[in-house]
Amino acid sequence: GVPIALHIIFFQAVASPPSSNFLLLGPSGAGKTAFTTLLEAKSSPASNKSHTTHTSQQSTLATATLPPTVPTASNRYRSDNDPSLKEAIRNPIRYRVRDTPGHGKLRVSQGLAELRAMALSKDIKTKLRGVLFMVDTAALVDESTLRDTATYLHDVLLVLQKRAKNGSSSKRTTEIPLLVAANKQDLFTALPPGAVKEKLEAEIDRIRQSKNKGLLDAAETEVEDEEEILANDDQETFSFKLLEFETGIKVEVVGGAVKGDQEEEFGSGVRRWEEWVGMCL
Ligand code: GDP
């Protein structure tokens, strides 16, 4: 028969089930479908099947492969001639990205429902490692798009905050991080990631203030109702830093472009988002 050691190597190379889950959220038109399609294409370059766009009524689960040169949290100090790099090439790390279906308002409510289910799940198979919140950085100059996007992001962060508060304080390190994937940086009308961050923070601050005011007004009649405010301290201006300080939830805004990833024409394509994924693994 085949030596046992060989069996093990063979099994690892073939099986290695993707066990890390990521949830892809964001307003319609941000590029989520394009991104999951790209990840699938990149993880199976040999198969030349043309990808039809996903029909929008089902939640899609894409299996992606992390490029071997992308470091993970556990091997971030690896050098180029480290044997573990060879191992990573032979047996790449896989992860799963769930894209949410539906359109417009429906997409938002379904995305939030999916997030609640995954974030609160104790099942290791559906354990959520991170949330990717994709935005179209060329569309954010429009006031109503900014408002919609920030409202969605605010509600997503509130779910993560509720989860963080329900957990024990010793579990601070296991808070689910969120990446704002600032997409479409190839367009010359795109806002740079720094401006995207500022706009989202300022808009979330406004949403938070009006919510707080609403609660104060309501409190005169219903004192019982204790709704949560994002990042707790309503005195301070909202920022992602404040959120991290108050709840342990890390938010990063990183630019990229789904278009041009294969051509390496526009900056880093999706590479820096893959690096963020790597740091969650
Ligand atoms: P979804 O609604 O979030 O799934 O968005 P889609 O994936 O359907 O993308 C919406 C539109 O944006 C499509 O026409 C895509 O081709 C386009 N798109 C996606 N990513 C990029 C990008 O990085 N740059 C540019 N210029 N267009 C993009």
Which atom of ligand 1 is closest in space to residue 30's alpha carbon?
A: 3
Using the mean position of ligand 1's atoms as its centre, give its distance from the Cα of residue 259 in Å: 8
**Positive or negative: CA dihedral 145, 150, 40, 272:** positive
Residue 203 has a CB neighbour count (10 Å cut-off) of 21
Rounded CA separation 255/185 (Å)? 6
Using the mean position of ligand 1's atoms as its centre, give its distance from the Cα of residue 57 in Å: 18
Q: What phi and psi values does residue 239 have, to the nearest 5 degrees?
A: -150, 160
Output the six-digit token pair for 20.
């890390």
Using the mean position of ligand 1's atoms as its centre, give its distance from the Cα of residue 238 in Å: 29
Residues with CB under 6 A from ligand 1: 28-34, 183-184, 186-187, 257-259
Per-residue pLDDT for the chain (281 aa), expressed as one digit of tens each? 555 555 554 444 444 556 789 999 999 999 999 999 999 988 876 554 444 455 555 667 889 999 888 888 877 766 767 777 777 677 788 999 999 876 777 778 889 999 998 888 777 777 899 999 999 999 999 999 999 999 999 999 999 999 888 765 555 558 999 999 999 999 999 999 999 999 999 999 999 988 877 777 766 655 444 568 898 766 789 999 999 999 999 999 999 999 876 665 555 799 999 999 999 98
Which atom of ligand 1 is closest in space to residue 256's alpha carbon?
A: 23
Using the mean position of ligand 1's atoms as its centre, give its distance from the Cα of residue 187 in Å: 11
- The residue nearest atom 24 of ligand 1, judged by CA position, is 184
* Domains within the chain, CATH numbers bracketed: 18-191+247-280 (3.40.50.300)
Using the mean position of ligand 1's atoms as its centre, give its distance from the Cα of residue 4 in Å: 48
Nearest CA among 189, 137, 114, 153 for reference residue 31:
137
- Residues in CB range of 54: below 8 A, 6 or more apart: 33, 36, 37, 60, 99, 101
- The residue nearest atom 17 of ligand 1, judged by CA position, is 31
Rounded CA separation 126/136 (Å)? 28
Residue 266 DSSP SS3: coil
- The residue nearest atom 18 of ligand 1, judged by CA position, is 31
Using the mean position of ligand 1's atoms as its centre, give its distance from the Cα of residue 33 in Å: 7
Which atom of ligand 1 is closest in space to residue 261's alpha carbon?
A: 23
ipTM over 0.90: yes
Rounded CA separation 144/154 (Å)? 15
Asked whether the beta carbons of 97 and 134 are under 8 A apart, the reply is no
Order across the sheet with 128-136: list the strands.
60-65, 94-99, 20-25, 128-136, 178-183, 251-255
Choose which residue among 25, 33, 135 to substitute to test ligand 1 binding: the one with the highest number of ligand atoms within 8 A of its C-beta. Answer: 33
